[in-house]
Structures are given as C-alpha cells and as structure tokens.
Structure 1
C-alpha cells in the first residue's frame, strides 16, 4: 500500500484508497491535491475549481490554466498544470504550479520566480526568470534568456521521503501487499 508523508509535519498519511477509508459508493469522484501554502494533502471533488484548505483556510485553486494570449499577474497559484500556448505570454512576479508548467512552441514565460513540480520547455519556447522545480525537461531549440534554475525535490520533500513514498515495501509493513 503506497505511503505519502506530510511535508510540513513528517506524519505518515495513507492513500485514501486503502480498505476502510474508501468513500461511499454514491460519493462523487474525487482526487487528492496538495495545498501550496501549508503542504497539507486533502481530497476534493473532481468538479471543484477553487476551494478552501481545511488546515490553513487559504484559497486553493485546483483548475488547470491555459495561457493563449498575453497575461500579466502579480501572483499566480494553482494546484493544476499551467500551459502556455503559441502566442501566449505569461508575465508574473511569482508563479506556483503544483502539477507543473508546460511551455509549448511559440509560448513565452517571463517570471521573477517560479515554483513548480515539473517544467517542460518545448522547442521554440522562450523562458526568462528564476525557476525552482523537481524536474526540468528542455527540448533542443528552447531559448532561456536568463535566470537561476534550481532543481530539487518539490515542497520540501527530501530524496529519502520521495524514495519511501515510491517504494511500497517501505510503508511500515513487513513487505506483504
């Protein structure tokens, strides 16, 4: 049974699919998201786009965003994916994308600082600014105009916690499934 660790408290958290914690059969489909403010995992209905974190009571945007024209933001936060399409320009001071950011060919990102799980830069994509991500995929032809790139585990996770979370035999059990 997979195991996650709460990044803020170091407390074990079982995946909600485990026996005994399943939602009722008539419950709407749901998914688990991570609050970008307090690093708390919680379940939400699939139809939700903006809601409040049950731990820190801050607004959490869970919808994926598509940028297909020039957009300017002081601060842009979402638990979903931000996709910058051709002719789309994302200009912001701070961007936090929980599921990642994808810059398609012809897209442009100008940020002071970006925090994300993953960053994908396709060919002919333009990037300018600082980036902190767990993974970076850059295709040949992508242009980086400057900035500091830091690749490290996302949301304070250590490499040991990531290995434990991905290894089903490290869940406190004897190895039996």
Structure 2
C-alpha cells in the first residue's frame, strides 16, 4: 500500500475517529484506525503510513506521547499531528521533541489537521504578542502538568499542588476543555 496518502488515526473516541476517518477518506486518504498504541503497532507491521493523527490522552490514561515516539522511531519522515482536549505548553513541547510535526487543541477538524500536515517548518514571521501570560493561564498549565504527571489522578494532583480535592475539581470543571 502506498504511503503517499495513507493515514493512521490513533484515537479512543470511536465516534470522533470514524467521523475524522470519513472526512479524510473524502479527501482521498486511505485511513487506518487504532484505539491504542498496541493496535497501532500491529497495523504498522503491515502498513507504512505517511501521516498520523494521535490523541494525546487515550483510554486508561495512556499518553499519546508514547505513540508519537513509537511512530517517529518507526518512520522519522512520517508527519504526525497530536490532537488534544488537554492542551498545555509542556505536552506541546514534548510532542514536538518526540517527533510530532504539529500539536492542535480540540476541537480541530480535518481542514486544520491537513493544514498542519502541510505546515512542517517553523515560521519566523509569526506575530509576537505583547500580552503577558495571565496568572489563571499559568495556574491552569501547572495543574495540567501535574495531572499528566499523576496519570490524571485528581486526589494525587490535589495533594501535590497543596489544595483541597474539591477545590481542584471545581477548577477543572470551570476550565473543562473538550
């Protein structure tokens, strides 16, 4: 099978994965679906995709970053886009270090993803913002960083941040990103 338009989607949300697959099939891609790193690894034994879309948080609190690392080791030329509903600077940097070409926050559609495949090189022309990062944004990024470190265990995250579990739960409810 030609790697030219072969796309591997690693996403545990079955409905979203199917919708994304249909959209890419209409664009001329052949799509393979996997819900976990193990499923993706099995598919890679028979196929060599040129493109991959990886969800950052898979079932069982498995990190999609391990999938990115596996895919990049298998084929450094593969264009990998990470999708997440839990965006943070830390995970974006790690995804790029591990081999992703782009990192997109959900909701993203096939237009956004295909554009990300085409935008591999950095752009020095990006306008820099004069606005400094707010305390709320910094707090949210720190909470998310600790959540990732604790495999999304809210009690352990609250303990490490030195806050009550219910306080953390309220903050997470206000900042829900999906």
Q: TM-score, normalised by structure 1?
A: 0.27
Q: Between Structure 1 and Structure 2, which shows a larger proportion of helix residues?
A: 2
Greater RCO between the two (CA within 8 Å, min separation 6)? 2
Q: TM-score, normalised by structure 2?
A: 0.27
